[in-house]
Amino acid sequence: MDVWRTVELSARLRTAGLRATGPRLAVLDALIRLGGHRRADEVHSHLTGQGRDLARASVYNVLRDLTAAELALLVDVGSGVTLYEVGGTFHHHFVCRSCGSVQDIACAVGTPPCLRPDADAHPGIASLDEARIVFRGLCSGCGALRGSALLP
C-alpha cells in the first residue's frame, strides 16, 4: 500500500474513532480493492495472496470493528452467509435465487429504519433503529436465460 493510500485510510479510521493499526488498514484496503459484497474468507484470501500474514480470526475481528464504526456494512443475505462491503449510504439488497449475485437496492426512505412495525401490535419495542430488507428473485441475466420478466 502506498503512502498516500495509508494516510487516507488512516484518516478514515481515526475519524471513525478507531486506531489505524496495520490489520485494520490492510482489511479496509482489501475491502475497498475487492469491492462488492465479500465473505471474510475472501478478504483473508486476498490478503494472503498479497503476502500479508494475517490470521483469519484477526480478519473477522477487524471486520467486526469496521462494521461497528460503520466503515463496513454487514450484508445478511440469508442461508447463514455473511458478507461485508465498504460502508456508505444505507441500502438494502437483492439476491438472485439462481446465480446468487447480490445487488444494492436504494432505501426508499433514505435513512434507516425504512419500515416500522405497528406500535400497538408490538408494545415491547422501546426503540427501532434499523430494518434490513433482502429482495429475492431472478437477476436480469438469469431472467433473460429463463425468458421471464422480473418486473411488470
Asked if 70 and 16 count as a contact pair (C-beta separation under 8 A), the reply is: yes
Please write the tens of the pLDDT for every residue from 54-85: 999 999 999 999 999 999 998 878 777 889 99
CA atoms of 27 and 5, how far apart (whole Å): 13
pLDDT for the residue 13: 97
Asked if 116 and 129 count as a contact pair (C-beta separation under 8 A), the reply is: no
Q: Which has the higher per-residue pLDDT, 136 or 145?
A: 136
pLDDT surpassing 70 at residue 132:
yes
Instruction: Pick the range with the lowest mean pLDDT from 56-70, 116-130, 134-148.
Output: 116-130
Which domains, and CATH codes, for the chain?
1-88 (1.10.10.10), 89-152 (3.30.1490.190)
**61 is written with which cell numbers?**
475481528
Q: Measure CA 130 to chain center.
A: 15
| pLDDT over 90 percentage in the chain | 54
Asked if 76 and 68 count as a contact pair (C-beta separation under 8 A), the reply is: no
Q: In what order do the strands lie in the sheet with 91-96?
A: 102-106, 91-96, 134-137
Rounded average pLDDT over 30-55? 95
pLDDT for the residue 148: 55
pLDDT surpassing 90 at residue 89:
no
- Strands 91-96 and 134-137 come out as parallel
Please write the tens of the pLDDT for every residue from 2-26: 889 999 999 999 999 999 999 999 9
Rounded average pLDDT over 96-120? 79
